[in-house]
Amino acid sequence: MSDVEKPFSPGLAGVIGAETAVSLVDGANGRLLYRGYPIEEVVSKGSYAAVLDLLLTGEWHPNATLEPVRVPPAVMAALRLLPAHAHPMDALRTAISVWGAGERLGWPPTADEARRIAAMAPSALAAFARLRQGLEPIDPEPGLDIAAAFLQQLHGTAPDPGTARALDAYLMAGAEHGLNASTFAARVIVATRADIASAVCGAIGALKGPLHGGAPAEVIGQLDEIGSIDRADAWARGKLARKELIMGFGHRVYRAYDPRAAALRKVAEAMPARPAWLELAIGAEEAILKVLAELKPDRPLKTNVEFYAAAVLQGVGLVPDLFPATFGLARIAGWSAHVIEQAAVDKIIRPDARYIGPAERHLP
């Protein structure tokens, strides 16, 4: 078949790029399954450590643990060299790259390697967050799970159980979501027989783009613009009249309410105290959904995960520019599971390109 005859799909939309047993994203019916288990059940009954184990092995071990580790000296030295204005995603990518350089990683990648990245990465991100404020990094306290230790290393004190649980739920909800851009990048990299650190670094690079990982931070700005629940209706109408996007609503895959958003809303509502911003988020969501249904009746624009991700992340005390990198911490589980799965296929990913440049010509 000639290049002209081969089908072309911009962005590879609709093209099956992999077969996977890791997750099922059912956009039409608003379902997300991790190895067959609904995301709502996973978030309500599990922990990030259990989800990591499930995605890597296919088995549900509710008592699985993931002990956070201190930042290795080489990684800490690299983080100290970064400028304070560096993006947290760059810091996370740098930390994993330096870690991988010292680990003598082999091929194919292993679940043990994935767990070691997942245990170190939150400590590294928290260390950078403190360094850029002129504060010294601190080691994780013994006995804390990965979410609680991240907040402890970030803020200097261990969080209350409800706050730690809220972040743990966010990490579970963000752990995996099919063949998205960053996951595809990770699979392409490992398909060349590169190591797992290289694949995760490439995935972080893809996630850094604002079309993929930056929406929760923008939701906070929108809530600040709305200000009060009684202004949400007029605000939404104004956005649509100006043909501007409303972040946190609509999804490329989901045509129903994003199941991750539903799970995170329950978590947000169960946090120890419901501050004014959470009441605003809940009230604004209802008003915006009504406006969307009225003005966009032919487009199923429902709440997506970014809306309540923003509420949870702000609620546990993260500043908005840490949101994408914290999403990256969560997604290490899914990336790693896909990387291991792709390595088992052991076939390089090499699609064709259709040439549209000038015909053959000769230099004068």
* Mean pLDDT, 10 residues at a time, the chain of 364 residues: 72 88 91 96 96 98 96 98 97 98 95 98 98 98 97 97 93 96 98 98 94 77 92 95 88 79 85 75 92 89 86 89 95 98 96 93 97
Say which residue the tokens 């039409």 belong to.
Answer: 28
Say which residue the tokens 């590879």 belong to.
Answer: 12
Closest residue by Cα to residue 161 from 264, 69, 272, 82: 272
Q: Is the preceding omega at residue 108 within 30 degrees of 0, hence cis?
A: yes
In one letter, which amino acid is 37?
Y
CA 337, CA 257: separation in Å to the nearest integer? 26
> Could you give the C-alpha distances from 74 to 80, 97, 109, 271, in angstroms and in order?
10, 11, 22, 37
CATH of domain 73-209+323-345: 1.10.580.10
Gyration radius of the chain over CA positions: 21
Q: Helix crossing, 48-57 with 111-131: angle to 10°?
A: 140
Class of the CATH-defined domain 215-315: mainly alpha
The pLDDT of residue 307 is 87
Other C-beta atoms within 10 Å of 226: how many? 21
Annotated active-site residue 61? The verdict is no
Q: First CA to last CA across the chain, in angstroms? A: 34
97 burial via Cβ count (<10 Å: 0-12, 13-18, 19+): middle
Three-class SS of residue 37?
strand
The pLDDT of residue 143 is 95
CA 226, CA 302: separation in Å to the nearest integer? 19
CA 278, CA 271: separation in Å to the nearest integer? 10
Q: Where does the chain have alpha helices with state H?
A: 39-45, 48-57, 73-81, 88-101, 111-131, 146-155, 161-173, 181-190, 196-208, 215-226, 232-241, 259-269, 276-295, 305-315, 323-345
Q: Helix crossing, 323-345 with 88-101: angle to 10°?
A: 40
298 burial via Cβ count (<10 Å: 0-12, 13-18, 19+): exposed
Annotated active-site residue 85? The verdict is no
Closest residue by Cα to residue 136 from 76, 82, 178: 76
Global pTM value? 0.92
The pLDDT of residue 1 is 57
Q: Which of 113, 176, 177, 251 is catalytic?
A: 251
Q: What's the CA angle centered on 27, arms 233 and 56, to 5 degrees?
A: 120
Residue 11 region by backbone torsions, left for phi larger than 0, else alpha for psi between -120 and 50, else beta: left
The pLDDT of residue 275 is 67
Closest residue by Cα to residue 113 from 124, 98, 103: 103
Closest residue by Cα to residue 329 from 148, 178, 144, 124: 124
Structure tokens at 208: 């850094």
CA 222, CA 218: separation in Å to the nearest integer? 6
Closest residue by Cα to residue 316 from 207, 155, 125: 155
Q: Which of 113, 285, 306, 341 is catalytic?
A: 306
The pLDDT of residue 218 is 81
CA 51, CA 68: separation in Å to the nearest integer? 15
Question: Where are the domains positioned within the chain?
Answer: 73-209+323-345, 215-315
